[in-house]
Amino acid sequence: MDRAELADFLRRRREALRPDDVGLPLGQRRRTSGLRREEVATLSGMSTDYYTRLEQQRGPRPSEQMLAAIARGLRLTLDERDHLFRLAGHTAPSRVSRADHVSPALMRVLDRLHDTPAQVMSNLGETLVQNRPAQALLGDETGHAGPARSAAYRWFTDPAEQLLYPPADRGRHARFLVASLRAASGSDPRAAELARLLAAKSAEFAKLWEAHEVAVPFERRKTLVHPDVGEIALDCQLLHTDDFAQVLLVFTATPGTEDAEKLQLLSVVGPELL
């Protein structure tokens, strides 16, 4: 671990970011245009003291999980992320087997979406980051570990996962999840391994996997079932990275409808108060 170089790199990347780059207001009393340490810590999901010690060349070597969080908080590119890992004494993650570094371009869009649900997902259906309205609408999907990080795995192994959709829509959504995993298996070995695991656990998955569908259209008009506000009809727009490894989902409702009122309620009160 090169403490001096790590500290210098973190400081320079922090100072290069403007508050509006990450969806924060400029404020009136900023001495520089860069971010404050506490802001980077918040964006990275860690304490200000922990992050400050890294910039001051103190504290233990950060784990890979901490480094991934810092890379996301500082909106690092893949090259910058790899450099960060090496400075901290870790091997840079494989770009094939580790697609959890959120695209900076998608993060810049997500940073500006404060009042409508939005989240970034990987090609395996892993939710990499959510804003507060998305957590209020869908629950916190970022805290899962292992295979359960994948929406497909949870769908076929946890009956509660299917309660988010009306019974009439569950069959089509199941087909979409399997087809998406099948399409990803051609370029990501993790997808094939996840499919093997699921086939051993779920007869429904195994049957759908054998159908070899790869082109089940994404249902852009969705009806979701929220435990507090009931059914809510939403439009879901997608923004993919160039390699289709990640996608930004944005949920909106038709203005003036009861669905729009429900969505507004969820966006205002947030996930903690429901």
Tell me how far CA of residue 6 lies from CA of 3, 53, 84, in angstroms: 5, 11, 7
Average pLDDT, rounded, for the chain = 86
pLDDT at 27 over 70: no
Residue where the block lists tokens 């890379």: 71
- Model-level pTM? 0.68
pLDDT at 244 over 70: yes
In terms of Cα–Cα distance, which of 262, 125, 104 is closest to 184? 125
Q: For domain 3-88, give the CATH number.
A: 1.10.260.40
Residue where the block lists tokens 């810590």: 41
pLDDT category of residue 97 using cuts at 50, 70 and 90: very low
pLDDT for res 17: 84
Structure tokens at 272: 């903690």
Instruction: Specify which of 44-48, 57-61, 166-170 reaches the highest per-range mean pLDDT.
Output: 166-170
Hey, is 223 helix, strand or coil?
Answer: strand
Range from 13-22, 124-133, 149-158 carrying the lowest mean pLDDT: 13-22
Q: Which residues pair with 49 in a beta bridge?
A: none
Structure tokens at 37: 């340490």
* 65-71 long-range Cβ contacts below 8 angstroms, 24+ apart: 68/93, 68/100, 68/101, 69/44, 69/45, 70/10, 70/40, 70/44, 70/46, 71/101
Question: What is the average pLDDT across 224-246?
Answer: 89
pLDDT category of residue 187 using cuts at 50, 70 and 90: confident
Question: C-alpha angle 23/55/29, rounded to 5°?
Answer: 45
pLDDT for res 199: 94
DSSP 72-120: HHTT--HHHHHHHHHHTT-PPPPTTT---S--HHHHHHHHT--SS-EEE
Structural domain boundaries of the chain?
Answer: 3-88, 104-269
pLDDT for res 274: 47
In terms of Cα–Cα distance, which of 123, 187, 112, 113 is closest to 152? 123
Instruction: Specify which of 37-51, 106-120, 248-262 reaches the highest per-range mean pLDDT.
Output: 248-262
Question: What is the average pLDDT across 198-210?
Answer: 94
pLDDT at 82 over 50: yes
Hey, is 126 helix, strand or coil?
Answer: strand
Alpha carbon 126 to its chain centroid, in Å, reads: 7
Range from 48-57, 180-189, 229-238 carrying the lowest mean pLDDT: 180-189
Question: What is the average pLDDT across 138-152?
Answer: 91
Instruction: Specify which of 72-81, 171-180, 260-269 reaches the highest per-range mean pLDDT.
Output: 171-180
pLDDT category of residue 270 using cuts at 50, 70 and 90: low
pLDDT for res 273: 47
Percentage of the chain beyond pLDDT 90 is: 39
pLDDT at 175 over 60: yes
Q: For domain 104-269, give the CATH number.
A: 3.30.450.180
pLDDT for res 114: 84
8 A C-beta contact, residue 37 and residue 31: no
pLDDT for res 76: 86
For residue 216, give the DSSP letter.
P
Question: What is the average pLDDT across 69-75?
Answer: 87
Residue where the block lists tokens 């209020």: 136
The span from the CA of 223 to the CA of 233, in Å, is 4
